[in-house]
Amino acid sequence: MKLPVTVLAASLIQIVTTGEAIAGSSNADQTKPNFILIVADDLGFADLSLNGSKQIPTPHIDRLAQEGVNFTQGYVSSPVCAPSRAGLMTGKNQVRFGFDNNLTPENQPGFDPDFKGLPLSEKTIADLLKPLGYVSGLVGKWHLGYATHHHPLNRGFDEFWGYQGGGHDYFRSEPDGVGYLSPIESNYKTPQPITYLTDDKGDECVDFIRRHKDQPFFLFASFNAPHGPMQATEDDLELFKHIENVRRRTYCAMVHRLDVNVGRIMETLKEEGLEENTLVVFISDNGGPCNQNASINAPLNGQKGILLEGGIRVPFIMKYKGQLPEGKTIHHPVISLDFAPTFLELAGRRLVEEDDFDGVNLMPYLTGQVKEAPHENLFWRFTISAAIRDGDWKLVRLPDRLPMLYNLAKDISEQNDVALLNLGRTLNMLKQLGEWDVTLPHPLFFEGAEWKKRQVDLYDREYQLIQPD
């Protein structure tokens, strides 16, 4: 990755002025910031009161934005869980190392745990922070491989409380269970029986912060709410009893409980005096799967699994008290690939070309040291589709139809395909996308034929909605 001179200069200024890389300082570790990455699972863009929801009050997540920076055009690198998490964990677009799709569940025929997972060639945020004196903990969902060599404890994490799969029952597990009933794993305690999984994860996040408050830490708070199965507590369901649709009612209750536990994490930081030395990030791993969990992505079109905005544009918030402006809204596109380089430079290590990140350190842009947008363009590839964002323009490519072009500044809902009205731009963006695409390796693994058919059906249904008569 070739870094702009302005970014390098701003990064050097930031490191020197914050004192995070001063050699020989006896309290150097104490001045390193902590990092908390809170990831929701399948959260709809419009299902925060911050983004206009009138059904689900989310005061704690809203407060993160009020006291930090809210990104209205925050993206993830994939519209489904596992590849999205592979990207945000490495700072690299996951298709560059062949992680193109979700992992086949461990209880499905043909599952090959040794082969399917985050390649060992790639380093996680936890790997990168370890030499800088950080302790790293993962609470919750992993979904980046089931084999021993893919296990989070072998991918840089010092502590793990959670499960390796892509989802879990919220009320129970079984000692010999698989899939959503798999046992909870922990390397530092005997896992307690599940009460309600979102609350249990909140408990573990609070405990991790308190146990490691005297050393720099990275906490990956990997929630599975509001991913299925659709399960909520009776008390939370009572709060939303006025909603007639049972699935929507349950979804709202699940998001409410997620918000409560975000609040518990933030309150613990305040109680332990860590609020001014901790960068907190909140994001969803992809857009809401509206047909499955009754989420809402409006005004964005599309949903989880496709490259319309509803699949890849997500709530995206950063708070770092005293270091980032409060209540600021950023309209430039950013992406989850930016987390790794941002954390790494804040921790005191300069970015070098060998890091080969696709993301950038966002701090110079957020503090005003660099004025231009963080990204000139962004790229995606998923199953049969690919997309490019260049300024306000976005092009989506599918194999069985003409490319589609949208001006997101005028058409956030991607209702008006203007490809034929802007042929020069269409051809130029299609060429950029193709030149990027041919540099990518063949995917390391695929889902089964049945899943692929479902995916094609989803594309046909979603994209047909926006085709001209």
Least confident span in 174-183, 404-413, 426-435: 174-183
Give the domain 377-464 fold: Arylsulfatase, C-terminal domain (3.30.1120)
Q: What's the mean pLDDT in 290-315? A: 97
Whether residue 216 contacts residue 347, with contact meaning beta carbons closer than 8 Å, is answered with yes
pLDDT of the residue at 5 = 40
- Res 447 pLDDT > 70: no
Among candidates 290, 328, 332, 282, which has minimal Cα distance to 308? 290
Whether residue 12 contacts residue 20, with contact meaning beta carbons closer than 8 Å, is answered with no
Among candidates 68, 84, 64, which has minimal Cα distance to 76? 84
Strands 74-75 and 334-335: parallel
Higher pLDDT, 113 or 217: 217
Residue written as tokens 């959503």?
180
Span 5-366 CATH architecture: 3-Layer(aba) Sandwich (3.40)
- Res 363 pLDDT > 70: yes
pTM over 0.85: yes
pLDDT category of residue 6 using cuts at 50, 70 and 90 = very low
pLDDT of the residue at 237 = 98
Rg (CA), the chain: 21
Whether residue 250 contacts residue 190, with contact meaning beta carbons closer than 8 Å, is answered with no
Provide the β-strand partners of residue 222: 39, 140
Q: What's the mean pLDDT in 406-413? A: 98
Q: Is 273 helix (H, G, I), strand (E, B) or coil?
A: coil
pLDDT of the residue at 16 = 39
Q: Going edge to edge, which strands form the sheet with 185-186?
A: 185-186, 159-163, 135-141, 217-222, 34-40, 278-284, 316-319, 69-71, 328-330
Which amino acid is residue 215, in one-letter code? Q
Whether residue 308 contacts residue 74, with contact meaning beta carbons closer than 8 Å, is answered with no
**Helices marked H in 234-362 — which ranges?**
234-239, 246-271, 290-293, 309-312, 339-346
- Res 25 pLDDT > 60: no
Least confident span in 53-62, 123-132, 376-385, 443-452: 443-452
Q: Is 103 helix (H, G, I), strand (E, B) or coil?
A: coil
Q: What's the mean pLDDT in 169-195? A: 95
pLDDT category of residue 432 using cuts at 50, 70 and 90 = very high
pLDDT of the residue at 142 = 96
pLDDT category of residue 450 using cuts at 50, 70 and 90 = low
pLDDT of the residue at 8 = 42
Whether residue 295 contacts residue 47, with contact meaning beta carbons closer than 8 Å, is answered with yes
Instruction: Name the residues annotated as catalytic.
Output: 81, 143
Q: Which of 26-35, 284-293, 455-464 has the highest mean pLDDT?
A: 284-293
Angle between the N-to-C axes of helices 339-346 and 81-90, in degrees from 0 to 180, rounded to the nearest 10: 30
Which amino acid is residue 200, in one-letter code? D
Structure tokens at 437: 């695409």
Round to the nearest angstrom and report the end-to-end CA distance of the chain.
Answer: 44
At 223-244, the pLDDT tens digits run 999 999 999 999 999 999 999 9
pLDDT of the residue at 468 = 40
Q: Domain ranges in the chain?
A: 5-366, 377-464
pLDDT of the residue at 29 = 56
**Helices marked H in 303-338 — which ranges?**
309-312
Q: Is 270 helix (H, G, I), strand (E, B) or coil?
A: helix
Q: How far apart are CA 18 and CA 365, in angstroms?
A: 16
Provide the β-strand partners of residue 217: 135
pLDDT of the residue at 444 = 85
pLDDT category of residue 15 using cuts at 50, 70 and 90 = very low
pLDDT category of residue 23 using cuts at 50, 70 and 90 = very low
